[in-house]
Structures are given as C-alpha cells and as structure tokens.
Chains A and B, each alone.
Chain A
Amino acid sequence: MEAISHAGTVLGVLAKDGVVLAAEKKVTGKLLDLSGAKEGGYGGSGEKIFLLNSNVISGVAGITADANSLVNYARTAAQRHLFSYDEDIPVEQLAQRLCDLKQGYTQYGGLRPFGVSLLYAGYDVHYQFQLYHSDPSGNYSGWKATCIGANNGTAQSLLKQEYKDDISVEDAIGLAVRVMGKTMDSTTLGSEKLEFAVLTLDKSTKQPHARIYKPAEVDALLAEHGLGKKEEDAEMKAA
C-alpha cells in the first residue's frame, strides 16, 4: 500500500460512449530509450497503461515488476475465456480473476501480496462501458471516475466536483487531462511524463477499440487543451 501511494497517479473516467485512462510516468529521463514506443506497437511506454485484451485496457500503480506479472496473468486469463467460450471476457469477470489471484496471496502460502492497484477500463455487450478498481487485498469495485497512486485524494475530490453523469468521451478526455494537469506539476506536463488511452466503440464494426496514445499524440492532446510544455526558448526568439 505504501508503494502504491508513492507511485505515479492513474486516473480513469467513464463516459457514456467510452472510457478514458490517464497516467503519470515516474521512470523518465533523457537517457530513457523510447524509440520502440514512438512508431511501432500500441503506443504508451509499457510502464503504466497496458492492453489486456481487445476490449479491456488497464492502468497500474505500484511495484512495476508485480504489475507486469499481473498484466501477463490477466492477458492469459482473457485468452483462456476466449478459448472456452468464443467471446471476449466480460470486464467484471477479468477483474474478478485478478482479484481472486491477489486474494490468494493474502491468505495462503506465506508469500507477500502483489503491491499493485489496477484500474480496468473496458467494454462488453452485457454492461457496455465499465471502470473497475482493484487493490492488493483483492477487493474490487466499479466506478464512474476514480484515481489511484500519488495525490489520489486530491484528484478524487476534483473528479467528484467536476464529473457529470452522461458525459461524452470528448468531455471525459478533457476532464482527465485537466485533473492530471492539476495533480501533476503542469510546467513539465508532456509526453515523457504522461500516458493516455481511450476505449471506444468503433462506429462501423461496433467492436470495442482501444487506443493507447503515442508520444506525439499525447503532445497534440495537451496542446489542444492548452496544457503543453511552455517553450521558453521559442518565446525568447519570437520577442
């Protein structure tokens, strides 16, 4: 729990036509090699936001190694369900599988629990868009908007004030970006510190479509909401 309260913030917002996840990265720096993330793959740096299945994305906060292990378990669990039932795993069931695993580590074995809290953002045909939160005890609950990691109290109260039922996914994106801007240090808000993802329904195929933003897309999003890094040098040149 201690590790989680010091980990990078992850917040999720549920909209009527999508779910949004935003996360603050803690592992940053000039020497970090992000070339893989820039072009190929699903975007994101693979530190905070992960694709679990075609219909579920998740944000993690806590001990990264434990998080990677849980994400791997979740991906396998989702595929096992697909294998047996030929359908995408319902979001709550995926949360339950992970929570059953986490709870086992609190009751049996003499092993330490997983030091990770997760937010699951997903879609299924039964309950449409959903957002769940689980913690190391194996407890989970459904949310309209929630936050884990550092400064989660501040972010949670900000979300409580500004969240309205039936918001659209565009408004949810704006809300997530603004709340992240307030909980993080805004002058350094940029794609190196922020991971962003949206899960919506593809209009033509009616299938869930997850999009983890690439660094360039994160910068564009921040610029759109007026929260991009201030280019001091450029301003000097203009003057």
Chain B
Amino acid sequence: MSIMEYNGGSVVAMVGKNCVAIASDLRLGNQALNVATFDKIFPVTDRIYIGLSGLATDVSTLRERFRFRVNMYTIKEEREIEPDTFAHLVSSTLYEKRFGPFFIEPVIAGISSPSRGSKPFIAAADLIGCLNFAKDFVVAGTASSELFGIAEGLWEPDLEPEDLFETISQTLLNAVDRDAFSGWGAVVHVITPDRVITRTLKGRMD
C-alpha cells in the first residue's frame, strides 16, 4: 500500500466572509490498526494555521522545521509572516527534498495582517511543493476524494463564521465516515481577524 496511507488522516480548509476555517480528523493508525489521537493542525502565528496530512513522523518533523524557519523570519524581519509568504516557505521547504520527499500534503489557512487588509487565505501543496491557491476550499489526505465531493456540494461563498463552521464540520465528518483510514474524532479551527475558535467534534470512533 502507499506510504501516504500508512498512518491515515485528512485535512480540509475553507474560505468564508472575512474568515477561514481549517479542520482535520484525529486518527493515527498503523495501517488498519487504530493507535492514537493525533492532532495534525498547528498554529504558525496567531492568524495562520497549517494542517499536515500524511506520514505522522514527517508531520512532527515538518512542524518543527516550519517553526525553525518561521522563528528565524520573525526575528530577522521583526514582524509576523504573512499567509502567502508562509505558503511559499512551505513550498520551498518541500521542494528542497524533491528526490527524497517528505510524505506530507500540507493545507494552510490564515488571514493576512491588518496592514494588508485582513484578507482570508487558503492554500494546499503536494508532497514536493506544488502550491494550489484555491478561492473556495482545499482538501488533503486519505479521504481527499470524499472531501472534494462533499465540499463541492456544500460550500458557497461568503459564509459567516458560524455557518462556515457548520459547513466545514459536515464536510469533514461525512467524508471521513466513508474512509477507513480517517476518523477517530475531529477538530475545527475557525480563524477571524480578532480571534480563533477551536472546537472538537464528536464523530464515529471507528
């Protein structure tokens, strides 16, 4: 089987009206065996979150690599990194390993700083850094086909934060229920210009 399916897991992000949401399941497995609860979404700054689906060891390592590079950026530039700049940082970090890649599909969600208009931003990349700047939603992981289908049906533009939360939650929960390698609970972060609301969802624990 594919190395990208070894641990399982899926991530999705969506754009709303002056907000973005990013959600993932919590499963960490060893092929068919469920092992642990594993959060795959990490804050990069107060306004940017990254979700990493794929091989769990690479999830942890890349999370630490990005922390390194974002810290260096922040200390040298004396300001927080913007979401689109961070997306390019992700892309170049992954392309560095073009011929021996990290088995990760990252999903980035954030809001740009007030001085740049507080614009919502989402992006996804493949394991060697090809960026996808969608205007509606991005998906990744073992349930990505299911996520594509449901998101296409449920998403509409300019959803308010509460409505966006409902939409992304239903998209994720129903998609992972159709995939054996994703599930075991879910977590959703809704990012607005002034706060981030994190909610854990009750899902089928199978």
Contacts and interface: CB of A to CB of B under 8 A. Distances in A.
B116 interface: no
A83 B64 contact: yes
Interface in B37-89: 64-65, 67-68, 71-72, 75-76, 78-79
A83 B68 contact: yes
B201 to A, nearest CB: 28
B53 to A, nearest CB: 22
B72 A75 contact: yes
A82 B71 contact: yes
A83 B65 contact: yes
B197 to A, nearest CB: 21
B65 to A, nearest CB: 7
B67 A82 contact: yes
A82 B70 CA distance: 12
A41 B79 contact: yes
A72 B75 CA distance: 10
Interface centre among B72, B75, B76, by most chain A C-beta atoms within 10 angstroms, is B75
A82 B72 contact: no
Contacts, number: 27
B68 A79 contact: yes
B82 to A, nearest CB: 14
B72 A79 contact: yes
Interface string A123-167: 000000000000000000000000000000000000000000000
B71 to A, nearest CB: 5
A82 B64 CA distance: 8
Nearest to B69: A79
B78 A40 contact: yes
Contacts of A229: none
Nearest to B78: A41
B75 A75 contact: yes
Contacts of A42: 78
A80 interface: yes
Nearest to B64: A83
Interface string A46-84: 000001110000000000000000001001100110110
Given A80-B68, A82-B68, A83-B65, A51 B75 contact: yes
Contacts of A82: 64, 67-68, 71
Contacts of A75: 72, 75-76
Nearest to B72: A79
Contacts of A53: 71, 75
A235 interface: no
Contacts of A224: none
A86 interface: yes
Contacts of B71: 53, 79, 82
Nearest to A46: B78
Contact of B72 (A41, A76, A86): A76
A88 to B, nearest CB: 11
A86 B64 contact: yes
Interface of B: 64-65, 67-68, 71-72, 75-76, 78-79
27 contacts: A40-B78, A40-B79, A41-B78, A41-B79, A42-B78, A51-B75, A52-B75, A53-B71, A53-B75, A72-B76, A75-B72, A75-B75, A75-B76, A76-B72, A79-B68, A79-B71, A79-B72, A80-B68, A82-B64, A82-B67, A82-B68, A82-B71, A83-B64, A83-B65, A83-B67, A83-B68, A86-B64
Given A41-B79, A86-B64, 4 more contacts: A41-B78, A72-B76, A82-B64, A83-B68
Nearest first, the 5 closest Cβ-Cβ pairs linking A and B are: A41-B78, A79-B68, A83-B68, A83-B64, A42-B78
